[in-house]
Structure 1
Amino acid sequence: MIRTARLLLRPVRPQDDLAAMHGIMRQPRAMAYWSTPPHGDEAATAEFLGNMAEIPLLEGEDFIVEHESRVIGKAGFYRFPDLGYMFDPTVWGQGFAREAVGAVVARGFTVHHLPRIQADVDPRNKASIRLLERLGFTETHRAARTWLVGEEWCDSVYFALTREEWDQRIA
């Protein structure tokens, strides 16, 4: 569990989180740059949450993000060192992603002693790219046609941040 100034990042509770996360994951805006299309039914979201709950302890750590006891998204590592996050579009632009993702990155370096954290972003997702750059990530490379989402091939831009770079930023 992680507490920040405004947020609680906690382990997933698949049954309890199903309605709120499905409310996010069924939205085309929320899923526009995700690796799957919007969830058409709760079964897809239930499977996603079940997979989050079953992440082996030493292989990853993913959190549900709450603000004022309301689920607003998820952030974490499905598998170390790959960072992933998603937030309800109703809370975009309020700094919650930066607060949550920054806390997850700090935990990755300090608790899990990761030497490097990486992220795969759709190049059209300008807000996510800005977030990563603000946290100190730098672009490492690009690749075409990396994800087939529904019927559309999507590209990737890859970012990375080393522990040394993070330590220099926070010093």
Structure 2
Amino acid sequence: MVELRTDRLLLRKARQDDLGGFHTLLSDARAMTFWYCPPHQDVAVTQAWLDDMIGIDPGSGEDFAVEFGEALIGKVGMRRFPTIGFIFHPDVWGRGLASEAVRSVIDRAFREHGLPLIKADVDPRNDPLLRLLNRLGFVETGRAEETGLIGGKWCDSVFLHLKAEMWNGG
């Protein structure tokens, strides 16, 4: 798999030795507030998640572990083309690292994979993520109520997309 480098980040294929770093991230309630599942209580849940990430068919999707310095700080990619997903540890929020990583993946998706558009499904309470996607050029295409049951609570969705012809590098 390709490695992507930005000014401050390395985006690379996930490895089994990432288990500890991903479990730290995915067991953090702050990081998981708007994620598609509750925080991971058991490392076995994270192991299954990591196995799925490592096992993505390259023709169907592409996901990257994100390093800042020597530290694993998150993941970004498309487990299934064309829907983007990403999560970063709260300790690095507010530094522009998510934007930097997402920009790189979007550029690759349009340039290398020839995707005509990229989709996102966001919890409407996640204002910072909606602002980030808006800055990158995503536009809202719809909303739906009760699209997912997470930790016993129904969550809604905002659907967005970014068309290749509208991409200007964010």
**Alpha-carbon distance in structure 2 between the residues aligned to 1:150 and 1:36:** 7
Secondary structure (helix, strand or coil) at the match of 1:16 reads helix
Amino acid at match of 1:93: G
RMSD (Å), alpha carbons: 1.0
1:1-171 mapped onto 2 (5 Å cutoff): 1-13=3-15, 15-166=16-167, 169-170=168-169
Deviation readout 1:107-132 (Å, 9 max, x if unpaired): 00001000000000000001110110
User: C-alpha separation between the residues in 2 aligned to 1:158 and 1:42?
Assistant: 31
Cα deviation, residue 69, structure 1: 1.4
Provide Cα deviations, 1:18-70, integer angstroms capped at 9, x if missing partner.
Answer: 00110010011100000100000111111111000111111000000000011
**Residue 10 of structure 2: SS of its match in structure 1?**
strand
TM-score normalised by the chain length of structure 2: 0.97
Number of aligned pairs?
168
Say which SS state the counterpart of residue 27 (structure 1) adopts: coil
What is the distance in 2 between the residues matched to 1:170 and 1:68? 24
What is the identity percentage for the equivalent residue pairs of Structure 1 and Structure 2?
Answer: 51
Q: Following superposition, which runs of at least 4 residues in structure 1 exceed 2 angstroms of deviation?
A: none
Distance 2:151 2:169 in 1: 40
Higher helix share: 1
Q: Provide the C-alpha distance between the structure 1 equivalents of 2:67 and 2:18, rounded to a whole number of angstroms.
A: 11
Aligned-partner residue type, residue 5 of structure 1: D
- Report SS of the residue matched to 1:30: coil
CA distance in 2, matches of 1:33, 1:61: 21
TM-score, structure 1 normalization: 0.96
For 2:129, what is the secondary structure of its paired residue?
A: helix
Q: What is the distance in 2 between the residues matched to 1:72 and 1:89? A: 9
3-state secondary structure, aligned to 2:140: strand
Question: Is the partner of 1:49 in helix, strand or coil?
Answer: helix
- Using the TM superposition, give the Cα deviation of residue 150 of structure 1 relative to its aligned residue in structure 2, in angstroms: 1.4
Find the aligned partners of 2:169 and 2:59 in 1 and give their Cα distance.
26
Structure 1, gaps ≥5 residues long: none
Asked if structure 1 preserves the Cα contact closer than 8 Å seen for 2:103 and 2:169, the reply is: no
2: distance between equivalents of 1:73 and 1:47? 17
